[in-house]
Amino acid sequence: MSSVDFLAQEKIWFDKPRYDEAERRFYERTDGSSQPTQDVGANTILQDIARARENIQKSLAGTISSAADQGEIICRIKSLELENHSLHKVVDDLRAALSKLECRVSVLEKSPAVVTPATAPSVPYTNGATVQQKTSAPVKNEEEEDDDDDDDIDLFGSDDDEDAEKLKEQRLKEYAEKKAKKPGIIAKSSILLDVKPWDDETDMVKLEECVRSVVADGLLWGTSKLVPVGYGIKKLQIACVVEDDKVGTDMLEEEITKFEDYIQSVDVAAFNKI
Protein backbone atom coordinates (compact mmCIF):
# COMPACT_ATOMS: atom_id res chain seq x y z
CA MET A 1 0.00 0.00 0.00
CA SER A 2 1.38 3.31 -0.94
CA SER A 3 1.57 6.32 1.32
CA VAL A 4 -1.07 8.09 -0.73
CA ASP A 5 -3.52 5.26 -0.21
CA PHE A 6 -2.73 5.16 3.48
CA LEU A 7 -3.42 8.84 3.88
CA ALA A 8 -6.60 8.48 1.87
CA GLN A 9 -7.87 5.85 4.29
CA GLU A 10 -6.71 7.77 7.41
CA LYS A 11 -9.55 10.08 8.58
CA ILE A 12 -8.38 11.34 12.05
CA TRP A 13 -7.01 14.66 10.85
CA PHE A 14 -9.90 15.32 8.53
CA ASP A 15 -12.41 14.82 11.37
CA LYS A 16 -10.50 16.99 13.89
CA PRO A 17 -13.35 19.58 14.28
CA ARG A 18 -15.67 16.76 15.31
CA TYR A 19 -13.16 15.48 17.84
CA ASP A 20 -12.67 18.99 19.21
CA GLU A 21 -16.43 19.45 19.57
CA ALA A 22 -16.76 16.12 21.34
CA GLU A 23 -13.91 17.03 23.69
CA ARG A 24 -15.49 20.42 24.45
CA ARG A 25 -18.83 18.81 25.26
CA PHE A 26 -17.14 16.26 27.51
CA TYR A 27 -15.37 18.96 29.50
CA GLU A 28 -18.54 21.04 29.69
CA ARG A 29 -20.43 18.15 31.24
CA THR A 30 -17.56 17.56 33.63
CA ASP A 31 -17.40 21.23 34.58
CA GLY A 32 -21.16 21.41 34.96
CA SER A 33 -21.17 18.67 37.58
CA SER A 34 -18.40 20.36 39.73
CA GLN A 35 -19.64 24.01 39.37
CA PRO A 36 -21.69 24.13 42.65
CA THR A 37 -18.66 22.92 44.62
CA GLN A 38 -16.54 25.61 43.00
CA ASP A 39 -19.17 28.31 43.82
CA VAL A 40 -19.23 27.24 47.46
CA GLY A 41 -15.44 27.44 47.65
CA ALA A 42 -15.45 30.86 46.01
CA ASN A 43 -18.05 32.14 48.49
CA THR A 44 -15.94 30.88 51.41
CA ILE A 45 -12.86 32.65 50.08
CA LEU A 46 -14.83 35.87 49.60
CA GLN A 47 -16.12 35.68 53.17
CA ASP A 48 -12.60 35.15 54.48
CA ILE A 49 -11.41 38.14 52.47
CA ALA A 50 -14.26 40.28 53.85
CA ARG A 51 -13.45 39.24 57.40
CA ALA A 52 -9.77 40.02 56.86
CA ARG A 53 -10.64 43.47 55.52
CA GLU A 54 -12.91 44.13 58.51
CA ASN A 55 -10.17 43.11 60.93
CA ILE A 56 -7.68 45.39 59.14
CA GLN A 57 -10.11 48.34 59.34
CA LYS A 58 -10.71 47.71 63.03
CA SER A 59 -6.99 47.59 63.75
CA LEU A 60 -6.45 50.82 61.81
CA ALA A 61 -9.29 52.50 63.72
CA GLY A 62 -7.80 51.34 67.02
CA THR A 63 -4.42 52.75 66.05
CA ILE A 64 -5.98 56.10 65.14
CA SER A 65 -7.96 56.26 68.41
CA SER A 66 -4.86 55.40 70.47
CA ALA A 67 -2.91 58.12 68.65
CA ALA A 68 -5.72 60.59 69.40
CA ASP A 69 -5.69 59.57 73.08
CA GLN A 70 -1.94 60.07 73.22
CA GLY A 71 -2.33 63.53 71.67
CA GLU A 72 -4.96 64.47 74.24
CA ILE A 73 -2.74 63.25 77.09
CA ILE A 74 0.18 65.28 75.74
CA CYS A 75 -2.03 68.39 75.54
CA ARG A 76 -3.19 67.89 79.13
CA ILE A 77 0.39 67.43 80.32
CA LYS A 78 1.42 70.67 78.60
CA SER A 79 -1.50 72.56 80.15
CA LEU A 80 -0.59 71.20 83.60
CA GLU A 81 3.02 72.27 83.10
CA LEU A 82 1.88 75.79 82.18
CA GLU A 83 -0.40 75.92 85.21
CA ASN A 84 2.41 74.69 87.45
CA HIS A 85 4.73 77.36 86.03
CA SER A 86 2.14 80.10 86.68
CA LEU A 87 1.59 78.84 90.24
CA HIS A 88 5.35 78.89 90.85
CA LYS A 89 5.41 82.47 89.63
CA VAL A 90 2.54 83.42 91.96
CA VAL A 91 4.35 81.81 94.90
CA ASP A 92 7.55 83.70 94.03
CA ASP A 93 5.61 86.99 93.86
CA LEU A 94 4.01 86.28 97.23
CA ARG A 95 7.38 85.48 98.77
CA ALA A 96 8.84 88.71 97.38
CA ALA A 97 5.89 90.73 98.71
CA LEU A 98 6.17 89.02 102.10
CA SER A 99 9.90 89.74 102.30
CA LYS A 100 9.25 93.41 101.45
CA LEU A 101 6.60 93.63 104.15
CA GLU A 102 8.95 92.03 106.67
CA CYS A 103 11.67 94.53 105.75
CA ARG A 104 9.25 97.42 106.19
CA VAL A 105 8.09 96.08 109.55
CA SER A 106 11.67 95.65 110.76
CA VAL A 107 12.49 99.20 109.63
CA LEU A 108 9.44 100.57 111.42
CA GLU A 109 10.32 98.64 114.57
CA LYS A 110 13.87 100.00 114.54
CA SER A 111 12.91 103.57 113.55
CA PRO A 112 12.68 105.01 117.16
CA ALA A 113 16.29 104.05 117.86
CA VAL A 114 17.51 105.38 114.51
CA VAL A 115 15.81 108.81 114.72
CA THR A 116 18.40 110.48 116.96
CA PRO A 117 21.54 109.50 114.98
CA ALA A 118 19.88 110.57 111.71
CA THR A 119 20.33 114.27 112.55
CA ALA A 120 24.06 113.92 113.28
CA PRO A 121 25.42 114.76 109.75
CA SER A 122 23.61 118.13 109.68
CA VAL A 123 25.60 119.35 112.74
CA PRO A 124 29.16 120.67 112.14
CA TYR A 125 31.47 117.99 113.42
CA THR A 126 33.83 119.85 115.80
CA ASN A 127 34.18 117.13 118.39
CA GLY A 128 32.31 114.11 119.58
CA ALA A 129 30.94 115.75 122.71
CA THR A 130 29.34 118.69 120.92
CA VAL A 131 27.55 116.44 118.41
CA GLN A 132 26.29 114.17 121.15
CA GLN A 133 24.89 117.11 123.10
CA LYS A 134 23.02 118.52 120.10
CA THR A 135 21.57 115.23 118.96
CA SER A 136 20.35 114.32 122.43
CA ALA A 137 18.91 117.77 123.08
CA PRO A 138 15.36 117.06 121.73
CA VAL A 139 15.05 113.98 123.92
CA LYS A 140 16.18 115.90 126.96
CA ASN A 141 13.77 118.74 126.19
CA GLU A 142 10.88 116.30 126.03
CA GLU A 143 11.90 114.71 129.32
CA GLU A 144 12.22 118.16 130.90
CA GLU A 145 8.75 119.12 129.63
CA ASP A 146 7.27 115.96 131.14
CA ASP A 147 9.06 116.69 134.41
CA ASP A 148 7.77 120.27 134.33
CA ASP A 149 4.21 119.04 133.77
CA ASP A 150 4.57 116.65 136.66
CA ASP A 151 6.13 119.35 138.83
CA ASP A 152 3.24 121.69 138.14
CA ILE A 153 1.01 119.27 140.02
CA ASP A 154 1.90 119.13 143.67
CA LEU A 155 1.07 115.66 144.90
CA PHE A 156 2.19 116.43 148.42
CA GLY A 157 0.37 119.59 149.41
CA SER A 158 0.04 120.89 152.91
CA ASP A 159 -2.10 118.89 155.33
CA ASP A 160 -2.60 121.72 157.78
CA ASP A 161 -6.25 122.34 156.99
CA GLU A 162 -9.21 121.12 154.89
CA ASP A 163 -8.48 123.53 152.06
CA ALA A 164 -5.15 121.87 151.55
CA GLU A 165 -6.82 118.43 151.40
CA LYS A 166 -9.36 119.66 148.86
CA LEU A 167 -6.63 121.25 146.81
CA LYS A 168 -4.68 118.00 146.89
CA GLU A 169 -7.68 115.96 145.76
CA GLN A 170 -8.40 118.44 142.97
CA ARG A 171 -4.82 118.29 141.74
CA LEU A 172 -4.82 114.50 141.85
CA LYS A 173 -8.01 114.47 139.80
CA GLU A 174 -6.52 116.90 137.26
CA TYR A 175 -3.38 114.78 137.04
CA ALA A 176 -5.42 111.61 136.40
CA GLU A 177 -7.47 113.36 133.69
CA LYS A 178 -4.34 114.66 132.05
CA LYS A 179 -2.76 111.23 131.99
CA ALA A 180 -5.99 109.74 130.60
CA LYS A 181 -6.03 112.25 127.72
CA LYS A 182 -2.57 111.23 126.53
CA PRO A 183 -2.93 108.96 123.46
CA GLY A 184 -1.78 105.38 123.98
CA ILE A 185 -0.07 103.08 121.49
CA ILE A 186 -2.52 101.87 118.84
CA ALA A 187 -1.88 98.31 117.71
CA LYS A 188 -2.11 97.96 113.91
CA SER A 189 -1.67 95.10 111.45
CA SER A 190 -0.92 94.84 107.75
CA ILE A 191 -3.08 92.25 105.95
CA LEU A 192 -2.75 90.88 102.41
CA LEU A 193 -5.98 89.35 101.08
CA ASP A 194 -6.55 87.01 98.13
CA VAL A 195 -10.03 87.57 96.65
CA LYS A 196 -11.01 84.86 94.15
CA PRO A 197 -13.76 85.25 91.50
CA TRP A 198 -16.13 82.55 90.24
CA ASP A 199 -14.68 82.21 86.73
CA ASP A 200 -12.69 83.98 84.03
CA GLU A 201 -15.75 85.98 82.90
CA THR A 202 -16.09 87.86 86.22
CA ASP A 203 -15.62 91.64 85.94
CA MET A 204 -12.50 92.18 88.07
CA VAL A 205 -12.88 95.98 88.03
CA LYS A 206 -16.35 95.68 89.55
CA LEU A 207 -15.02 93.08 92.00
CA GLU A 208 -12.34 95.49 93.23
CA GLU A 209 -14.92 98.25 93.58
CA CYS A 210 -17.04 95.94 95.74
CA VAL A 211 -14.05 95.11 97.95
CA ARG A 212 -13.06 98.75 98.40
CA SER A 213 -16.68 99.65 99.19
CA VAL A 214 -16.23 97.93 102.56
CA VAL A 215 -15.66 100.84 104.96
CA ALA A 216 -15.02 100.65 108.71
CA ASP A 217 -13.40 102.71 111.45
CA GLY A 218 -9.74 101.71 111.62
CA LEU A 219 -9.63 100.23 108.07
CA LEU A 220 -7.40 101.64 105.33
CA TRP A 221 -7.18 99.98 101.88
CA GLY A 222 -3.82 99.91 100.09
CA THR A 223 -2.49 98.80 96.73
CA SER A 224 -3.86 95.92 94.69
CA LYS A 225 -2.96 93.80 91.67
CA LEU A 226 -4.35 90.93 89.59
CA VAL A 227 -2.49 87.63 89.91
CA PRO A 228 -3.07 84.78 87.37
CA VAL A 229 -4.24 81.52 88.89
CA GLY A 230 -4.80 79.26 85.86
CA TYR A 231 -7.14 78.59 82.91
CA GLY A 232 -7.47 82.34 82.30
CA ILE A 233 -8.70 83.05 85.86
CA LYS A 234 -7.11 85.88 87.86
CA LYS A 235 -7.47 86.69 91.55
CA LEU A 236 -7.37 90.11 93.22
CA GLN A 237 -4.55 90.57 95.71
CA ILE A 238 -5.18 93.65 97.85
CA ALA A 239 -3.44 95.03 100.93
CA CYS A 240 -4.93 96.91 103.87
CA VAL A 241 -3.95 98.29 107.28
CA VAL A 242 -6.32 97.77 110.21
CA GLU A 243 -6.45 98.71 113.88
CA ASP A 244 -6.52 95.47 115.85
CA ASP A 245 -9.05 96.72 118.40
CA LYS A 246 -11.56 97.83 115.75
CA VAL A 247 -11.21 95.57 112.69
CA GLY A 248 -10.49 91.83 112.44
CA THR A 249 -9.97 89.36 109.61
CA ASP A 250 -13.29 87.62 110.32
CA MET A 251 -15.19 90.87 109.89
CA LEU A 252 -13.36 91.62 106.62
CA GLU A 253 -14.08 88.17 105.17
CA GLU A 254 -17.73 88.37 106.21
CA GLU A 255 -18.25 91.82 104.66
CA ILE A 256 -16.40 91.02 101.41
CA THR A 257 -18.13 87.67 100.80
CA LYS A 258 -21.51 89.43 100.89
CA PHE A 259 -20.87 90.32 97.22
CA GLU A 260 -21.53 86.72 96.22
CA ASP A 261 -22.29 87.62 92.57
CA TYR A 262 -18.61 88.43 92.00
CA ILE A 263 -16.64 86.86 94.87
CA GLN A 264 -16.20 83.15 95.50
CA SER A 265 -13.90 83.22 98.52
CA VAL A 266 -11.47 85.38 100.53
CA ASP A 267 -8.20 84.11 101.99
CA VAL A 268 -5.56 85.82 104.17
CA ALA A 269 -2.29 85.58 102.24
CA ALA A 270 -0.13 87.47 104.77
CA PHE A 271 -0.63 88.99 108.22
CA ASN A 272 1.98 91.19 109.91
CA LYS A 273 1.98 93.39 112.98
CA ILE A 274 3.01 97.00 112.48
Going along the chain, which residue ranges are E strands? 188-197, 219-230, 233-243, 263-273
Q: How far apart are alpha carbons 199 and 264 in whole angstroms?
A: 9
pLDDT greater than 60 at residue 79? yes
Are β-strands 233-243 and 263-273 bridged in parallel, bridged antiparallel, or unpaired? unpaired
pLDDT of residue 242: 92
Look at residue 140 in the predicted model and tell me its pLDDT: 45
Mean pLDDT, rounded, for 77-85? 88
CA distance 86 to 92: 10
Give residue 221's pLDDT band: very low, low, confident or very high (50, 70, 90). Answer: very high
Top pLDDT among 85 and 68 is at: 85
Checking if the pLDDT of 136 tops 50, the result is: no
Is the pLDDT score of 218 beyond 80?
A: yes
State the chain's mean pLDDT as an integer. 76
For the question of whether the overall pTM of this predicted structure is more than 0.85, the answer is: no
Instruction: Please tell me the predicted confidence (pLDDT) of residue 127.
Output: 41
What pLDDT, in 10s, does the model give residues 2-61?
665 655 565 555 667 777 788 888 888 877 655 555 555 667 888 888 888 888 888 777
Percentage of the chain lying above the pLDDT 90 cut: 26
| pLDDT for the residue numbered 29 | 81
The domain limits of the chain are 188-273
Number of Cβ within 10 Å of residue 208's Cβ equals 17
Lowest-confidence range among 112-116, 224-228, 245-249? 112-116
Identify the CA nearest to 154 among candidates 174, 124, 125, 139.
174
CATH superfamily entry for domain 188-273: Ribosomal protein S6/Translation elongation factor EF1B (3.30.70.60)
157: confidence class by pLDDT, cuts 50, 70, 90: very low
The amino acid at 274: I
> Quick check: 195 pLDDT over 50?
yes
